[in-house]
Chains A and B, each alone.
Chain A
């Protein structure tokens, strides 16, 4: 703890305001020039005259002509000068504005200018208030009284000094000429109105965490939105995280050894061949993963195939078909978008379409309207709806269905490899590049063509007529 309670406000150096204030100073010095500045006159008090008093309209006229701007801007500039304490009003000293009329102002002495890089000290304020009280007891405003009491508590150890210093300053002030006394009092008072503004007014010197008015209103909107956002309790979100971890921890190749062996470590690509796209029998881990969520099931193409088989049995394949078509639209080329949108509309959305999907009226309306000017995400709402339908209903039925149980039973569970170092060396030497991607792609295309031919759109009407005929 240092002895110093007075310290230079080094933070002020870095505040952008300081540059403006330095320019202001140059302007003020010009303004008070006897020859080319604002014309001053004398203020008549009871028995004395105090010189160097200027009227508001003179100031504003001078600023307007000097800076070559309009009166309104000069007015605002003048108000800023008053707010920063370079000029203080003589009448109505608490309101720091410049009025464009005959109200009187005077220049503040440089000792009290804001560029002095010193914080307006609390002990100085205490001395000032004590002085005011010496002059006449009970002259302090209520907010000043509050400050005074607070300072008396906080600066209690210095209080003798403060009172003595106030008395001495007062006595020293008395030595001066009467008008000078008045002028000095006005100056000090103006300085403290700027630096310790009365309640419910804001000061131009506001800065830092205790400021009263925040110029950035955007922050306010930000906080309002933050309050309105729905929040999740941390217990809930943490629970979800724990559940996720427990589900996936055995499937993570970093945390659990993958079966049969990690190809990157052992150079044996059995793992990859067993988990290929169109393998007949998937591995147990893969099948288990499908049960985690519909998303997992659909993203794994092998799982999607399985799901399709199930849906075919249930005659509710149109949802998945629509979902797939929407995915194609989303990820497809821009040139094919309009044709795809047309086909989708004709196949799934038009009333009486062959594979009509059952979505609610509002979404349907929005989607159809959007299809007038199709873009990539025009089916987003409908797709989400369909996905949710599948998730809530079809997915659970799939998990309980014989199709899934069958595949679970059939799934492979490969033995973990146990290579010796010599075998590892061997594996490394016999590494092969694997199947060429073009071949894989060609295979895919063939399969797709076969699937398209095989699963022609199920004509509801034909089906109905078939059932009728059977009857």
Chain B
């Protein structure tokens, strides 16, 4: 982190630094929530679709909504502030771009969930598509809402009124996000071609615990064709090992015999 020459005690920069940090934190959490929302949305209509999933979707969406409103206010007020120093402005603009892209993703996902909710109702389990999923989205929702455990007592209220209420609220929220996107564009003029990202072209591979799923996926991919070859190489290695073991055994026997 570069040393800020703050000898004069420039409160303004400190203030905006904090604002920047705040904004960054907010945007990060919004990105996380949007990612989780997408995972949950991909389960809708599938065999794991249930009232609980819909509920989790709703909660995640509400959180995203709250976050976006606060970020909007925060960023708009700072970007309209003409006295913002140049580097801060650049950082703010980066956050702005990230925020607007997240909003777009959220908007698409919300529309998709809205449409699919029409077609697939969690009450009619026979019509849900057998996609091969087994678990629900509870862990993902927990991650989104930053809760250690999502076993909140959700009394499943009668499906009908919940659904219709849900649809109304959803429609309202979709249009709210729509308006927000439009308003943002009106109030703040961020030139996208001037924004330069910091990060690398390739995200760092997170090598922690993914080897297992990687193995699963690669087995999935390589099922045909490769198996005979693998088997052959396996057999060859085994034979070699066996031969070596046999040799060692005979040698030891000889040693024992002749000593």
A interface, CB within 8 angstroms of B = 2-6, 8, 28-29, 32-35, 40, 43, 45-46, 48, 50-53, 90-93, 103, 106-112, 116, 118, 121, 123-124, 130, 133-137, 152, 156-187
Cβ–Cβ contact A175 & B143, under 8 A:
yes
Beyond A4-B104, A135-B214, A164-B28, whether A175 also contacts B203 by CB under 8 A is no
Q: List 12 A-B contacts (CB under 8 A).
A: A6-B108, A45-B220, A109-B42, A109-B129, A109-B133, A110-B129, A111-B41, A133-B202, A157-B197, A160-B98, A161-B101, A181-B213
Interface size on B, residues (CB 8 A): 77
Q: In the complex, A40→B47 CA distance in Å? A: 13
Consensus secondary structure, chain B interface = helix
Shortest distance between the CB of A179 and any CB in chain B (Å): 6
Cβ–Cβ contact B31 & A168, under 8 A:
yes
Interfacial chain B residues near A116, Cβ < 8 Å: 112, 115-116
Cβ–Cβ contact B184 & A178, under 8 A:
no
Shortest distance between the CB of B34 and any CB in chain A (Å): 7
Cβ–Cβ contact B203 & A179, under 8 A:
no
Beyond A121-B108, A167-B203, whether A157 also contacts B133 by CB under 8 A is no
Q: In the complex, A116→B42 CA distance in Å? A: 12
Shortest distance between the CB of A81 and any CB in chain B (Å): 13
- Provide the B108-140 mask, 1 if CB < 8 A to any CB of A, else 0: 100110011001100000110111111101011
Q: In the complex, A51→B129 CA distance in Å? A: 12
Interfacial chain A residues near B142, Cβ < 8 Å: 175
Cβ–Cβ contact A176 & B135, under 8 A:
yes
Which B residues between 187 and 233 are near A, CB-CB below 8 angstroms? 192-193, 195-206, 209-210, 212-217, 219-221, 223-224
Cβ–Cβ contact A109 & B140, under 8 A:
no
Interfacial chain A residues near B204, Cβ < 8 Å: 134
Cβ–Cβ contact A185 & B185, under 8 A:
no
Cβ–Cβ contact A3 & B216, under 8 A:
no
B interface, CB within 8 angstroms of A = 28, 31-32, 34-36, 38-39, 41-47, 94, 97-98, 100-102, 104-105, 107-108, 111-112, 115-116, 119-120, 126-127, 129-135, 137, 139-140, 142-144, 181-182, 184-185, 192-193, 195-206, 209-210, 212-217, 219-221, 223-224
With beta carbons under 8 angstroms apart, the residue of A5, A33, A156, A185 that contacts B217 is: A185
Shortest distance between the CB of B185 and any CB in chain A (Å): 5
- Give the A-B pair count, Cβ closer than 8 A: 215
Closest 5 A/B residue pairs (Cβ)? A110-B45, A168-B35, A161-B98, A52-B130, A175-B139
By beta carbon, the residue of chain B nearest A116 is: B112
Beyond A118-B108, A159-B201, whether A52 also contacts B132 by CB under 8 A is yes
Shortest distance between the CB of A4 and any CB in chain B (Å): 6
Q: In the complex, A260→B184 CA distance in Å? A: 78
Shortest distance between the CB of B122 and any CB in chain A (Å): 13
Q: In the complex, A3→B209 CA distance in Å? A: 38
Cβ–Cβ contact B134 & A161, under 8 A:
no
With beta carbons under 8 angstroms apart, the residue of B35, B116, B139, B140 that contacts A165 is: B35
Beyond A3-B185, A134-B205, A136-B214, whether A180 also contacts B112 by CB under 8 A is no
Indicate the member of B42, B101, B132, B192 with the most A CB atoms within 10 Å. B132
Beyond A177-B134, A183-B131, whether A118 also contacts B201 by CB under 8 A is no
Given A110-B129, A157-B195, 5 more A-B residue pairs with CB atoms under 8 Å apart are: A46-B216, A46-B219, A50-B132, A165-B101, A172-B35
Interfacial chain A residues near B34, Cβ < 8 Å: 165, 168
Interfacial chain B residues near A162, Cβ < 8 Å: 101
Cβ–Cβ contact B217 & A182, under 8 A:
yes
Cβ–Cβ contact A45 & B216, under 8 A:
yes
Cβ–Cβ contact A33 & B112, under 8 A:
no
Cβ–Cβ contact A182 & B213, under 8 A:
yes
By beta carbon, the residue of chain B nearest A30 is: B127
Cβ–Cβ contact B216 & A110, under 8 A:
no
Cβ–Cβ contact A107 & B44, under 8 A:
no
Indicate the member of A48, A93, A169 with the most B CB atoms within 10 Å. A169
With beta carbons under 8 angstroms apart, the residue of A3, A164, A170, A177 that contacts B31 is: A164
By beta carbon, the residue of chain B nearest A121 is: B108
Shortest distance between the CB of A92 and any CB in chain B (Å): 6
Cβ–Cβ contact B32 & A168, under 8 A:
yes
Cβ–Cβ contact A90 & B223, under 8 A:
yes
Cβ–Cβ contact A184 & B39, under 8 A:
yes
Cβ–Cβ contact A34 & B126, under 8 A:
yes
With beta carbons under 8 angstroms apart, the residue of B43, B120, B144, B215 that contacts A46 is: B215
By beta carbon, the residue of chain A nearest B205 is: A137
Q: In the complex, A159→B219 CA distance in Å? A: 32
Cβ–Cβ contact B216 & A182, under 8 A:
yes
Beyond A110-B116, A182-B216, whether A169 also contacts B35 by CB under 8 A is yes
Q: In the complex, A144→B133 CA distance in Å? A: 27
Interfacial chain B residues near A46, Cβ < 8 Å: 215-216, 219
Interfacial chain B residues near A53, Cβ < 8 Å: 132
Beyond A45-B219, A165-B105, whether A29 also contacts B98 by CB under 8 A is no
With beta carbons under 8 angstroms apart, the residue of B205, B206, B210, B224 that contacts A92 is: B224
Q: In the complex, A92→B201 CA distance in Å? A: 29
Cβ–Cβ contact A107 & B192, under 8 A:
no
Q: In the complex, A180→B140 CA distance in Å? A: 12
With beta carbons under 8 angstroms apart, the residue of A2, A45, A156 that contacts B197 is: A156
Shortest distance between the CB of B111 and any CB in chain A (Å): 7
By beta carbon, the residue of chain B nearest A90 is: B220
Q: In the complex, A130→B202 CA distance in Å? A: 7
Q: In the complex, A172→B39 CA distance in Å? A: 7
Beyond A107-B131, A109-B46, A133-B203, whether A178 also contacts B112 by CB under 8 A is no
By beta carbon, the residue of chain A nearest B94 is: A160
Q: In the complex, A6→B109 CA distance in Å? A: 11
Cβ–Cβ contact A160 & B216, under 8 A:
no
Shortest distance between the CB of B44 and any CB in chain A (Å): 6
Q: In the complex, A169→B38 CA distance in Å? A: 8
Shortest distance between the CB of B21 and any CB in chain A (Å): 16
Q: In the complex, A183→B104 CA distance in Å? A: 26
Shortest distance between the CB of B100 and any CB in chain A (Å): 5
Interfacial chain A residues near B220, Cβ < 8 Å: 45, 90, 182, 186
Cβ–Cβ contact A3 & B212, under 8 A:
no
Shortest distance between the CB of B175 and any CB in chain A (Å): 14
Q: In the complex, A114→B64 CA distance in Å? A: 26
Cβ–Cβ contact B223 & A107, under 8 A:
no
Interfacial chain B residues near A171, Cβ < 8 Å: 32, 35, 143, 206
Shortest distance between the CB of A53 and any CB in chain B (Å): 7
Cβ–Cβ contact B130 & A32, under 8 A:
yes
Cβ–Cβ contact B36 & A111, under 8 A:
no
Shortest distance between the CB of B50 and any CB in chain A (Å): 15
Cβ–Cβ contact B32 & A107, under 8 A:
no
